[in-house]
Structure 1
Amino acid sequence: MKIDYRLNALVDASLADIAPLPELAAVAARHGATIIQYRDKHASTRQMIEQALLIVDALKGTGVPLVINDRVDVALASGADGVHLGADDMDAHTARRLLGRDAVIGLTVKNKKDAERAAIAPVDYACIGGVFETISKVNPDAPVGLEGLQHLRHHLKQARPDMPVGAIAGITLKRVAPVIAAGADGVALISALFRAGDIAAATRDFRREVDHALEARG
């Protein structure tokens, strides 16, 4: 499946102090996000399914797909569009067999080994990161930086020229253009969108910036 990865709005459980996650997802989807990802590292399976069902419902009519971070079971139970998998999660081949050919499956790429795995996996997109330092997640790995992003992107491009590749972690409005110039096809955002004073405006601004940068890259 061809995925529009220009703007991935990541609704993380840590954002619940701002507003209910389904509400945040809907605002982002209606103002320029092209894919929504739901992430919760601590909730029970039951809680995650309940939350995912609410997000699925909130996104109805927007045409924006929802992927669940890590959890194939939650994606299946909630009717989400797919999953986003890390290196320690279920392998993509098994996830594809369980979710079916129409599901959206994405992979995190942090290093060359991950890139090699993504290059041969039955996935629809990859997301490289963390590119910069981030406050949204405790990350034991050092940021790959723009040079690392470019290197990993090149590796993926050679094997899978049509697969969209995003970038995540520490991406501000000013960093969008250099990240796209380094090879990303879009960005994944958490705090920069959802902790902005005006979430709708921030989403529109990032989407505009991504579109301009992609146009400039040609």
Structure 2
Amino acid sequence: MTQRLALKDRDLFWPPADELTEATERIRARLGDWPPTHAPWRICLTAPDAPNGGDLIVIADAQQHREQVARWLVQGAGVIEAAQNTATLHLGGETYRLEGHLADDWIAALAAFLDCGFDPHDALVLALAWRDGDETRADDAFPADLARFPRLAGLPAAPAQAFARCPDRLGLYPVLPTAEWVERVLSFGVKTVQLRRKSAEPAAELKREIARCVAVGRAHDAQVFINDHWQAALDAGAYGVHLGQEDVHTADLSALAAAGMRLGLSTHGYYEILRALHFRPSYIALGAVFPTTTKVMPTAPQGLRRLARYVRLLDGVVPLVAIGGIDLQVLPDVLATGVGCAAVVRAVTQAADPAAAVSALQLGFTR
């Protein structure tokens, strides 16, 4: 018997809609156990008199309501344009354009995924991956068929050729601050590392650091990725680069792909995963899994439940890297999701005995 959730006492829709609430309950009951969300969202099927920062206002054509839309956005609300096989979310100064199937129950599905705690752009992706009746076909109806997911419109063109492949399971992946650290960790037998230098420094010094990392990587037959500095990595003949979502607008991806370099892309949810897949990278990083102090994160921690869902969706499609707050204590839980690689930072660089820390972490991949 389908479990029913107590959503009727919540302000899910404007105007109130009992049938939509009941459909949301049916769908939400088959999506699994998620921590309750405290986000003040509400889906508005007609414009409310006074929008609030949690409102998502569904309309058919933003051009016909241009002045109203501008006012709603200034007031902190989001606007979803929904037409045949397309849905566009305007929220927080960003526009998310999706092309795909709009089920009859897509609004109820959107509400259910919002209730699971997903941000509106990720919840909308999942709503477009929903099919009417999915909640009746399995106890776990969470979307897991990539072929059903929407296509993102308006993206920069991908390189003509896909990026070169890297091993499907990269294993332990230390992210290190200097060439000296790269040399040290590779001497411990690690086969995949990343140089991540975030401090400002002269270009000549940066190039020397990258060239030094490339050389030691070749000496150890290891895969050395360079974070961010794609041009210097390209000039040095690096094995690969790791870029953030924003970097695909500025990096010469075609030149990197043509040179046979590998590309890793950071993601923080379903929308960014689809965006990364568009560029056919060598691997996709999923994070931050846990809270981290090594960098300022644009999103809340993903957690193990989401990581497991991402792995289920993408396993066999592209190599995956879990990143963010991972240490020896949580590594078994991370690997239990099925992910084949875990990136670590402080677990190595702040260890009292880095060699022993690396040995213990590597042992975790063999259990």
TM range (shorter): 0.7 to 0.9
Q: What pairs with 1:144-183 in structure 2 (closer than 5 Å)?
A: 144-157=302-315, 161-183=316-338
- The letter for the 2-side match of 1:36 is V
Alignment equivalent of 1:26, drawn from 183, 187, 191? 183
Post-superposition offset of 1:29: 1.6
Q: Return the structure number with greater helix share.
A: 1
Q: Distance in 1 between matches of 2:230 and 2:206?
A: 11
Q: Against the structure 1 CA distance between its residues 2 and 77, is the aligned structure 2 distance closer, same or farther, given a 3 Å change threshold?
A: closer
| 2:283 maps to 1:118 | no
Q: Against the structure 1 CA distance between its residues 98 and 125, is the aligned structure 2 distance closer, same or farther, given a 3 Å change threshold?
A: closer
| 2:358 maps to 1:194 | no
SS in 1 for 2:246: coil
- Total equivalences in the alignment: 201
Post-superposition offset of 1:61: 1.8
| 2:87 maps to 1:87 | no
| 2:160 maps to 1:2 | no
Q: Structure 2: which 5+ runs fail to align? A: 1-164
Alignment equivalent of 1:104, drawn from 244, 254, 262? 262
Equivalent pair of 1:37/1:67 in contact (CA under 8 Å): yes
Q: Structure with the greater relative contact order (CA < 8 A, sep ≥ 6): 1 or 2?
A: 1
SS in 1 for 2:193: strand
Post-superposition offset of 1:181: 1.1
Q: Which residue of 2 aligns with 1:37?
A: 194
TM-score w.r.t. length of structure 1:
0.83
Q: Which residue of 1 aligns with 2:87?
A: none
SS in 1 for 2:299: coil
Equivalent pair of 1:96/1:122 in contact (CA under 8 Å): no
Post-superposition offset of 1:131: 0.3
- The letter for the 1-side match of 2:290 is F
Q: Distance in 2 between matches of 1:47 and 1:183?
A: 39
Query: Who wins on radius of gyration, i.e. which is larger?
Result: 2
Q: Against the structure 1 CA distance between its residues 53 and 136, is the aligned structure 2 distance closer, same or farther, given a 3 Å change threshold?
A: same
Identity of paired residues, percent?
A: 28
Indicate the RMSD between aligned Cα atoms, in angstroms.
2.1
Q: Which residue of 2 aligns with 1:215?
A: none
TM-score w.r.t. length of structure 2:
0.51
Q: Distance in 2 between matches of 1:57 and 1:68?
A: 13
Equivalent pair of 2:245/2:276 in contact (CA under 8 Å): no
